[in-house]
């Protein structure tokens, strides 16, 4: 299981979530490398999301070098990467 303590980018999602699909589609075009974690298949991931989302399983939740963001935009994710993990930005 990947948690928010990871040094990379982690996208917590679940099937059927239109907000997750939209963010993942937008991120795909950035060529940013990230790990996807399905919270319905990973109870520890679901617990982590609840811990950073006021007890809710709000997805997408994204961590960048350990910083959690609940339902962020593509722009916010890329800004966090530029600030916290610029080595992860695609060339």
Q: What is the CATH number of the domain that holds 36?
A: 3.40.30.10
pTM of the model: 0.90
pLDDT at 78: 95
In a domain, 3, yes or no: no
Give how many domains the chain has, as a whole number. 1
- Which tokens in the block code for residue 4? 């928010």
In a domain, 47, yes or no: yes
pLDDT at 91: 73
In a domain, 32, yes or no: yes
Give the contacts of 73 (CB within 8 A, at least 6 positions apart): 23
Residue 66 sits in which domain range?
A: 9-88
pLDDT tens for the 91 residues of the chain, in order: 445 556 799 999 999 999 999 999 999 999 899 999 999 999 999 999 999 999 999 999 999 998 999 999 999 999 999 999 998 887 7
DSSP string, 23-57: HHHHHHTTT---EEEETTT-HHHHHHHHHHTTTS-
In a domain, 2, yes or no: no
In a domain, 1, yes or no: no
In a domain, 25, yes or no: yes
């Amino acid at each position: 299981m990947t948690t928010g303590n990871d040094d990379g980018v982690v996208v917590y999602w679940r099937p059927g979530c239109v907000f997750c699909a939209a963010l993942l589609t937008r991120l795909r075009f950035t060529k940013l490398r990230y790990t996807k974690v399905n919270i319905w298949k990973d109870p520890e991931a679901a617990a982590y999301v609840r811990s950073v989302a006021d007890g809710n399983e709000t997805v997408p939740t994204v961590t960048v070098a350990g910083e959690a963001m609940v339902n962020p935009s593509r722009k916010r994710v890329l800004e966090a990467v530029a600030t916290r993990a610029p080595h992860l930005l695609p060339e």
